[in-house]
């Protein structure tokens, strides 16, 4: 059974987001599109925060964010506890994002990627299992840092 994939973009990622929503639906995925729905200029932190908050609260298991380069979305999303947003540029980084980092948000640049490449990266990210082992130990350290920050110890 497919888990819901939450997706959002700013105006710079709208075209790629629309193509990925179509691709995900054709692959029998459940998609919840948080916007934007037009090419009017919007602020990427608003969309990244909405999506990342849903993951941080456990309301969604994975998401995709797209802005012009992916950089702004990555910076914003990774402010939220439990979020592991990975900016990817090719099939290898998409694979490693999941296999080694168990990224729960895939981030892409709508102005730097073509649709075919983005589809391939999404497919790889969805199908690649998390390797665990030494990589889980590293994720546990990240979670511990998040706990320390929330508790004011750092």
The residue annotated as part of the active site, out of 11, 67, 89, 135, is 67
- In the chain, the number of structural domains is 1
What is the dihedral sign for C-alpha 48, 49, 50, 54? positive
Confirm whether 100 is a catalytic residue. Answer: yes
Q: What range defines the domain where residue 34 resides?
A: 4-150
Q: What is the mean pLDDT of each run of 10 residues along the chain (154 residues)?
A: 87 98 96 97 98 95 97 97 97 98 98 98 98 95 94 92
Q: Model-level pTM greater than 0.75?
A: yes
Instruction: Give the number of other Cβ atoms within 10 Å of residue 102's Cβ.
Output: 18
CATH of the domain at 11: 3.40.1400.10
Confirm whether 11 is a catalytic residue. Answer: no
The residue annotated as part of the active site, out of 11, 32, 100, 135, is 100
Measure the CA–CA gap between 148 and 154, rounded to whole angstroms: 6
């Amino acid at each position: 059974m497919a888990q819901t994939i939450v997706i959002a973009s700013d105006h710079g990622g709208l075209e790629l987001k629309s193509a990925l929503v179509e691709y995900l639906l054709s692959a029998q995925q459940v998609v919840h599109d948080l916007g934007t729905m037009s090419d009017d200029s919007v602020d990427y932190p608003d969309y990244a925060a909405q999506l990342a908050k849903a993951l941080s609260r456990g309301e969604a298991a994975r998401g995709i964010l797209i802005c012009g380069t992916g950089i702004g979305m990555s910076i914003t999303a990774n402010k939220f506890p439990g979020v592991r947003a990975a900016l990817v540029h090719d099939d290898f980084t998409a694979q490693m994002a999941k296999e080694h980092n168990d990224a729960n948000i895939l981030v892409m640049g709508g102005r730097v990627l073509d649709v075919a490449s983005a589809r391939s990266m999404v497919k790889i990210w969805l199908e690649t299992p998390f390797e665990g082992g030494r990589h889980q130990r590293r994720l546990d350290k990240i979670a511990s840092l998040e706990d320390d920050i929330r508790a004011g110890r750092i």
